[in-house]
Structure 1
Amino acid sequence: MVQVRAHQPINTDGSLNLEAWLDHAVSVDVALDREALKEACEYAREAEQQANAAKNLWTEGASSFRTGLEIAEILADLKLDQDSLVAAILYRGVREGQIQLPAVSQRFGPVVAKLIDGVLRMAAISASLSPRQSMVMGSQGQVENLRKMLVAMVDDVRVALIKLAERTCAIREVKSASDEKRIRVAREVFDIYAPLAHRLGIGHIKWELEDLSFRYLEPEQYKQIATLLHERRLDRERFISDVMNQLRTELEATGVVDADISGRAKHIYSIWRKMQRKGLAFSQIYDVRAVRVLVPEMRDCYTALGIVHTLWRHIPKEFDDYIANPKENGYRSLHTAVIGPEGKVLEVQIRTHAMHEEAELGVCAHWRYKGTDVKAGSNQYEEKISWLRQVLEWHEELGDIGGLADQLRVDIEPDRVYIFTPDGHAIDLPKGATPLDFAYRVHTEIGHNCRGAKINGRIVPLNYSLQTGEQVEIITSKHGTPSRDWLNSNLGYVTTSRARAKIVHWFKLQARDQNVAAGKTLLERELGRLGLPAVDYEKLADKANMKTAEDMFAALGAGDLRLAQLINLAQQLVEPERGSEQIELIPRKAQGYKPGKRGDIQIEGVGNLLTQMAGCCQPLPGDAIVGYITQGRGVSIHRQDCASVLQLGGREPERIIQVSWGPIPVSTYPVDIEIRAYDRSGLLRDVSQVLLNERINVLAVNTRSNKEDNTALMSLTIEIPGLDALGRLLGRISQLPNIIETRRIGRSEPR
């Protein structure tokens, strides 16, 4: 659930009760200097008052001083030191020009000033990453700002923590802001700061940022889950209370007397994500009812686990031992799900008090130990800082900012695979990584020269999905170079940001003329294969924020632009109504398709009419479409370039109406594809296997062989959810041996 914002102590006249606020801050951490905090508060408040007086501005709106105190409250809960809290109190005043940084250095010391300066530099993220279009190329200035931010984070992790607290305040404050600002802040927080909090192990900050972002990015789904949780709250609280009493009694009977048992609130975004990932209904989520058990020692964790499994029946495949196998961010705990009292499903988390502090505070629990070897927990701190250094090294080498959000989020899901080199060294990669990802992880040149891979001695394709425990041997060529196909996401050759960035960097170094020619060929081939109509390349370049079509081709050939991105922009050109439909940050699960339902097709100026997809051209979501009013069968939906509808429009133009795809994604549509290949034994079997792997339903198949040139022509009618899935399928089939061409066809085309 979203964390409730604490109210600051207020005097009867509405002003802040500073003495009460200071008393609370010092009570959280007795090591804080009350007088030093008071001096910073009075300095920030006076600066704000003077700035308002100079502008003749006296409002009851947002106060930089009050926001600074809220940031400091968050940092106090994270157990940060005196300098961090002073920097937090003064930061907003410096950012808004009320306080000068040299004055801060002179009065409060260079450490405080350096922290504030580092947080100011981190504001480069907002400028570089919030507008998605600005991520296409990334100006040199943006790259330099990002480097400065990363340097500040590595030099002193407190900078990142202050920025996290500041962004937490920012997303709390946008409740009454405009929709545009709410979405912009939520997108930035979800993409960058929630994953950063996760990577630094700060659990409660991560949950709050995810829930608040989800609230603004998916308001309907957020309200739906929140309502379901609220409706069951009283029943859930009674159930949890009974479970806690029963569990406490059993633990005390076995000698575990210092256990701390509490109910655990399930976060809304976490519920939604699990429902989407596993295709579950709300009633099937096991951990809506959950308790957390904190015990003194590690051995008590397993004792408590045994008691839980003795009291209630364990649910198979719902046990995770993160103590024996910690997550990469250092998280340790036991998770289990059981059939509890009244036959209701219950999740139980078990950990020590120290593990709990690490889960809630993460790097904050260890940052003071930097540079020492004797303090407990310093190794985990250095592991987290080592990750930040790796990100810094990556950006210094490549000068690319487009993959930062991917790099931050790569471990937001706990699933990793552990792969062995031929020498027996273990390397961990994200789930779904390929041999090419592995090659680039080992060394850049090995990736560039890669020509094949062996898994446990068996040759596999380069887009093979690696599994834990496999031994990988990369086959290289002395003069090998990367292939542009490796950057095509539909082909699945690389999944990690690191590998993609290395490939992009290599192509950037190639001659511009080669990149222009290669980029144009790639785009034309993909447009033709997907059956999209010709587009104006100059308009497409403008939509991609490029000056000319040649610049666009060069960027595509060099890997700065992704082919899938240009295809999406091309769709928007042929159907402008879909241009504003770009708030797709959190993946939505496709809804079931029911023919003729309103929402799949929108008819301009008309109410709810029966619609049907034309069999002559078989339009897909993303195609430019028009409607034709039939006699007795409602509106027939055609592609705009369909020969049949063009003839009908010439004879009966009054029956042609404007239609567009509705906002609700649909499940599947029929489409015809054609495959030309050199005939061989097992060709149909291999194609069928690709269709099976992609979970594509086949409605009809027709295969003809030509003995004269030893070729085969396969025509298939398949059900496909959209152009992205179609592009991926055609790409997979084209990788099979002996394939000459794969493309989409309309039924009006000759076969």
Structure 2
Amino acid sequence: MSEVLPQSEKTEKTPYVAPSINGLLRRIESYDPAADLDMIRRAYAVAEQAHREQARDNGEPYIIHPIAVANILAGFRMDATTIAVGLLHDTVEDTGVTHASLRADFGEEIASLVDGVTKLTRLELQSDRTKQAENFRKLVLAMSRDIRVLIVKLADRLHNMRTLHYVQRQDRRQRIARETMDIYAPLAERIGMDRVKTELQNLSFAQLEPEADATIRARLNFLRGHGADVIEQVRKELTELCVEAGLPEVEVTGREKSPYSIWAKMQKRNVAFEQLSDIMAFRVLVPSRDACYIALGAIHGAYPTIAGRFKDYISTPKSNGYQSLHTGVTLRHPRNQKIEVQIRTSEMHDLAENGVAAHWAYKERPGAVASETEVVALGLNKLRWVQDLLEILEDSGAPDEFLENTKLELYQDQVFCFTPKGQLISLPRGATPIDFAYAVHSQVGDACVGAKINGRLMPLRHELQNGDQVEIMTARGGTPSASWERFVVTGKARARIRRHVALQQRQVNIDNGRTALAKAFRQEGADGSEKVLESILRDLRQATVEDLYVAVGNGQIGPRDVVNTAYPELRQAPRAPRMVPGLSPRIGSSAHHAAGRASGAGSVLTGVGAGISTHFAGCCHPLPGDPIVGIIAQGKGITVHTRQCQNLAGFSSSPERFLEIDWDYDVLAKSGQNAPHIGRVSVIAANEPAVLATLTNTASKHHGGVVNLRIVNRQLDFMEILVDLEVRDLRHLSAMIAALRAAQGVMQVERARN
């Protein structure tokens, strides 16, 4: 849905002229001569009549928006039914047209699709997060029934984002842009519509980070002026290499990366624009799958490759069907510039740009049948990730929790792992054996007790790598551990773990509540049977006796309140409160000493007033060099967290508690080694006596110290250790981690967060 300008707010009236759809009809006929153009005309007539009295924010007739959406869908080469839905998608929401009238005029299929898009449109009308999350459930359910609902919704959102600058209120523009960035761009990526995803991200980025967007665009313009010929020179070089390798039919194009992708890479690597070396990307289109590998060999033979940048998505496609070869190389002297090269066929490119929409016609039109490979690659026969979202919907309790877990599922930089039988499982980067187990099946995840990675027993928090073979060990009656939630990364796993923990906690509350009520009624010598409790459920605003037990068990309702509600005559007159003098802290006490020591943190921070107690959070252990933020706690001063700390989400409802602070690097430079900080690392090492000595000796050799060490998990082959190191700053910690990784007997070292 787009913004509607009421007639009363129009500044001037102009004669209404219905726009033509002849261009749209010609466009449809160019790729689908058998399309039902009469149905398109009838859909336009209904939409034009329904929206005749409405205008958009820029004063244009509202019908411009449905026509634009239909043209976007035609650009995807969608079927006539979907394009008709694009024309009609706002009629039920904004006009007097009803679902019944659409069904009578166009049939059940179109009416149902319009109804699905209408329900999704209400997402945009919600400012309350809980309502938005509740309506987001409808998105998942609608997608599971017909993916065309999502394709129409993406076209609708794309046109609204292109015209977002006409919305007057900045807060509304930013809310729509944030929703686009968080929900619709990832959804476009998951169905393979890369072109739509990129445009949505760039349009959203311009609204959310206007200064960063303007700076990057200005920098790109500067580079374009000083190296306009570089792209053309490299394009010719790549073309000549492919021709020499026996590939005369090759098309090479060069482009700059988009502003948002550059900004995202800067954030991920924590580097400035000038430090990015691969802002240019080149695409090589060849005639066949075999030719992709021939072109790859030719390019690798001519240029030095960049380690870790080669990815083969042809032999192992992404879950959305994307196929391509990616590699990074360094240009010859004197340029010495790094570039990214993508190699694919024209068919692969079409799928990469338009995803599911690229071959929708194969599935829909009579006489045209997609190959089994195409259908599987596109996910048209089974959208596995949509099924995962449905499971999250079932397992998540609160709407906010569902929205959070869904976002986890949408953002995926993938790794590919295998079961012992060779089944391929795609997971997000950073996934663990627990995530793998839940991806295989929810019951496998619930019963998981251990995992073997490439034949070796490894901890359940181990980070999986591309190509790992994972064997999950299960136990009958096994249940998820609440601690798993701290390291799983998929929304499906987190939703399932939370569901189990919630059910477990509910049972504990039921038992505690039942015991507390029995004791309270017994003390009064009164009847506390379930029959009595059922009679007061309405007064206590509880649905069932079990819910009442839960409310008492978690402290929401006091046992005495229940007794008094059942037997009002037992109420006692309230006692006058006793005045208790406050307790003064003893001078020299440990608490006083700790507070004084913590307040010293303020001396190395800017943005903190004099005399304010400041201490570093124990969840993320911020170090000089980390981006930081302060959280104000009444009576406790300021707690310093890293900006990546997961616990900051708990303060999102209280933005007034956030304080902009930074490190005072001048003070830190003067203090030198006299101002140590604590950096916490997680170490996985062989279960050998000498390992602990190796850790302490390595830390000492690199001018650090082990101030605390705790073995959190010990198995036959390995042990998992949390080590608190005394370091100067983030760079010192990184050097310590590198040294520990090289130490004998150490398998893995990572900075521990949260």
Question: What is the TM-score with the length of structure 2 in the denominator?
Answer: 0.65
The verdict on how the C-alpha distance between 1:434 and 1:666 changes in structure 2, with shifts beyond 3 A counting, is: farther
Say if 1:296 and 1:352, in contact at 8 Å, map to a contact too: yes
Say if 1:419 and 1:468, in contact at 8 Å, map to a contact too: no
For residue 406 of structure 1, report the CA deviation from its aligned partner.
4.4
Q: 1:106, 1:482 → 2: CA distance? A: 51
Q: Which residue in the other structure is 1:624 paired with?
A: 632
Which moves more between the two structures, 20-29 or 276-285?
20-29
Within 5 A, what are the aligned runs for 1:243-282?
243-249=234-240, 251-252=242-243, 255-282=246-273
The correspondence for 1:335, drawn from 326, 335, 343, is 326
Instruction: Report SS of the residue matched to 2:461.
Output: coil
For residue 152 of structure 1, report the CA deviation from its aligned partner.
2.8
Within 5 A, what are the aligned runs for 1:529-548?
none
Say if 2:604 and 2:664, in contact at 8 Å, map to a contact too: no
Say if 2:434 and 2:493, in contact at 8 Å, map to a contact too: yes
Q: Which residue in the other structure is 2:495 paired with?
A: 501
Provide, for residues 476-518 of structure 1, a one-character-per-residue CA deviation record: whole Å limited to 9, x for no partner. 554444333333x3xx2x2221122112222333464725999
Say if 1:191 and 1:409, in contact at 8 Å, map to a contact too: no
Say if 1:189 and 1:213, in contact at 8 Å, map to a contact too: yes
For residue 321 of structure 1, report the CA deviation from its aligned partner.
2.6
The correspondence for 2:20, drawn from 14, 18, 21, is 18
For residue 445 of structure 1, report the CA deviation from its aligned partner.
4.0
Are 2:610 and 1:601 equivalent residues in the alignment? no
For residue 70 of structure 1, report the CA deviation from its aligned partner.
1.3
Say if 2:418 and 2:470, in contact at 8 Å, map to a contact too: yes
Q: Which residue in the other structure is 1:575 paired with?
A: none
For residue 238 of structure 1, report the CA deviation from its aligned partner.
2.3
Residue type at the aligned position of 1:234? G
Provide, for residues 90-142 of structure 1, a one-character-per-residue CA deviation record: whole Å limited to 9, x for no partner. 212322124333332333333222211111122365578x754568xx7xxx3
Are 2:388 and 1:395 equivalent residues in the alignment? no
Say if 2:416 and 2:424, in contact at 8 Å, map to a contact too: no
Residue type at the aligned position of 1:47? A
Residue type at the aligned position of 2:355? G
Provide, for residues 561-605 of structure 1, a one-character-per-residue CA deviation record: whole Å limited to 9, x for no partner. xxxxxxxxxxxxxxxxxxxxxxxxxxxxxxxxx99799x4166xx
Q: 1:117, 1:687 → 2: CA distance? A: 65
Q: Which residue in the other structure is 1:174 paired with?
A: 164
Q: 1:273, 1:329 → 2: CA distance? A: 21
Q: 1:26, 1:617 → 2: CA distance? A: 62
Q: Which residue in the other structure is 1:75 paired with?
A: 73
Provide, for residues 451-492 of structure 1, a one-character-per-residue CA deviation record: whole Å limited to 9, x for no partner. 4445456544332323445555555554444333333x3xx2
Say if 2:433 and 2:472, in contact at 8 Å, map to a contact too: yes
Q: 1:673, 1:248 → 2: CA distance? A: 50
Within 5 A, what are the aligned runs for 1:294-309?
294-309=285-300
Are 2:365 and 1:365 equivalent residues in the alignment? no
Are 2:428 and 1:434 equivalent residues in the alignment? no
Q: Which residue in the other structure is 1:215 paired with?
A: 206
Say if 2:286 and 2:292, in contact at 8 Å, map to a contact too: yes
Say if 2:389 and 2:409, in contact at 8 Å, map to a contact too: no
Say if 2:185 and 2:201, in contact at 8 Å, map to a contact too: yes
Instruction: Report SS of the residue matched to 1:466.
Output: coil
Say if 2:614 and 2:638, in contact at 8 Å, map to a contact too: no
Within 5 A, what are the aligned runs for 1:686-725?
701=707
* Identical residues among aligned pairs (%): 33
The verdict on how the C-alpha distance between 1:442 and 1:327 changes in structure 2, with shifts beyond 3 A counting, is: closer
Say if 1:264 and 1:290, in contact at 8 Å, map to a contact too: yes
Residue type at the aligned position of 1:486? W
Instruction: Report SS of the residue matched to 1:324.
Output: coil
The verdict on how the C-alpha distance between 1:110 and 1:697 changes in structure 2, with shifts beyond 3 A counting, is: farther
For residue 355 of structure 1, report the CA deviation from its aligned partner.
0.7
* Structure 1, unpaired ranges of 5+: 1-11, 520-547, 557-593, 604-610, 627-637, 643-658, 675-679, 704-713, 722-741, 745-751
Q: 2:304, 2:679 → 1: CA distance? A: 51
Q: 2:212, 2:257 → 1: CA distance? A: 16
Provide, for residues 619-676 of structure 1, a one-character-per-residue CA deviation record: whole Å limited to 9, x for no partner. 98544379xxxxxxxxxxx95399xxxxxxxxxxxxxxxx9864356599966799xx
Q: Which residue in the other structure is 2:737 paired with?
A: none
Q: Which residue in the other structure is 2:531 paired with?
A: none
Are 2:40 and 1:40 equivalent residues in the alignment? no
Bigger relative CO (Cα 8 Å, ≥ 6 apart): 1
For residue 409 of structure 1, report the CA deviation from its aligned partner.
5.2
Say if 2:68 and 2:159, in contact at 8 Å, map to a contact too: yes
The verdict on how the C-alpha distance between 1:719 and 1:122 changes in structure 2, with shifts beyond 3 A counting, is: farther
The correspondence for 2:31, drawn from 5, 29, 32, is 29
The correspondence for 2:142, drawn from 143, 152, 155, is 152
Structure with the greater alpha carbon radius of gyration: 2
For residue 315 of structure 1, report the CA deviation from its aligned partner.
3.5
Provide, for residues 412-464 of structure 1, a one-character-per-residue CA deviation record: whole Å limited to 9, x for no partner. 4433141434x665544333222333333344444334444454565443323
Instruction: Report SS of the residue matched to 1:346.
Output: strand
Say if 2:604 and 2:663, in contact at 8 Å, map to a contact too: no
Q: 1:223, 1:517 → 2: CA distance? A: 59
Within 5 A, what are the aligned runs for 1:100-119?
100-119=98-117
Residue type at the aligned position of 1:350? I
Q: Which residue in the other structure is 2:415 paired with?
A: 416
The correspondence for 1:355, drawn from 348, 360, 364, is 348
For residue 292 of structure 1, report the CA deviation from its aligned partner.
1.8
Q: Which residue in the other structure is 2:218 paired with?
A: 227
Say if 1:244 and 1:261, in contact at 8 Å, map to a contact too: yes
For residue 84 of structure 1, report the CA deviation from its aligned partner.
1.1
Residue type at the aligned position of 1:88? G
Q: 2:436, 2:187 → 1: CA distance? A: 24
Q: 1:661, 1:257 → 2: CA distance? A: 60
Residue-pair matches, total: 578
For residue 202 of structure 1, report the CA deviation from its aligned partner.
0.7
Within 5 A, what are the aligned runs for 1:650-665?
662-663=659-660
Q: 2:128, 2:354 → 1: CA distance? A: 31
The verdict on how the C-alpha distance between 1:554 and 1:383 changes in structure 2, with shifts beyond 3 A counting, is: farther
Q: 2:295, 2:112 → 1: CA distance? A: 47
Are 2:248 and 1:242 equivalent residues in the alignment? no
Instruction: Report SS of the residue matched to 1:215.
Output: helix
Q: 1:230, 1:411 → 2: CA distance? A: 33
